[in-house]
Amino acid sequence: MKDQSEQRVVDTAWWTLRVTFGLVPFLAGLDKFFNVLAFWPKYIAPAFDGLLPVSHQSFMYAVGVIEMAVGLAVLLTRWTKPFAYVVAGWLTCIAINLLVGRYFDIAVRDLVMAASAATLARLTDVVHVPSVAHGRLRPVPAT
């Protein structure tokens, strides 16, 4: 009985993290087009200005598309584990940018989220990963 109870705790924690790292990147990515949550271009560290071949806002549009795609991949595919690692790496890169830009408080939060995304990836080893999208694509058996 204890094993089943422990597995339920692991499954619940995994689902919480999966939904979080599916929806939050998707919504943050979507907001790169609207700047409602924040004016995202201001968070690009001045040290990186010369490296961008486009405006800060155009760069944020590309970032938004990537974040939306990765969020959906975490949430809807059977590849939660590799995409959770992508989220962890992505958040770490964002934190580095924020540290260079002297946004220390936000950088720390992003590092905590990166650790949580890596935890999701690790938990995926002990959780059956259903694909939400795959389940909807199954053909209906003929009657």
Q: Which domain holds residue 53?
A: 2-39+46-131
Query: For residue 140, is pLDDT > 50?
Result: no
Query: For residue 67, is pLDDT > 50?
Result: yes
Structure tokens at 80: 């939660």
How would you write 19-83 as a 3-class SS string?
Answer: HHHHHHHHHHHHHCCCCCCCCHHHHCCHHHHHHCCCCHHHHHHHHHHHHHHHHHHHHHCCCHHHH
Q: Tell me, what's the pLDDT at 139?
A: 46
Q: Tell me, what's the pLDDT at 142?
A: 55
Identify whether 109 is part of a domain. Answer: yes
* CA angle in degrees (0–180, nearest 5) for 68-71-72: 85
**pLDDT of 8-19, one tens digit each?**
999 999 999 999
Query: For residue 46, is pLDDT > 70?
Result: yes
Query: For residue 82, is pLDDT > 90?
Result: yes
Q: pTM for the full model? A: 0.88
Identify whether 142 is part of a domain. Answer: no
Distance of CA 88 to the CA centre of its chain: 7
Mean of the pLDDT values across residues 35-64? 97
Percent of the chain whose pLDDT exceeds 90: 84
Q: Tell me, what's the pLDDT at 128?
A: 80
What is the rounded CA–CA span in Å between residue 127 and residue 123? 7
Structure tokens at 134: 């795959």
For the chain, the domain total comes to 1
Identify whether 74 is part of a domain. Answer: yes
Mean of the pLDDT values across residues 70-85? 96
Average confidence score pLDDT of the chain: 92
Identify whether 143 is part of a domain. Answer: no
Q: Tell me, what's the pLDDT at 137?
A: 43
What is the rounded CA–CA span in Å between residue 130 and residue 91? 25
Identify whether 137 is part of a domain. Answer: no
Identify whether 13 is part of a domain. Answer: yes
Query: For residue 85, is pLDDT > 60?
Result: yes
Q: Tell me, what's the pLDDT at 28?
A: 98
Query: For residue 132, is pLDDT > 80?
Result: no
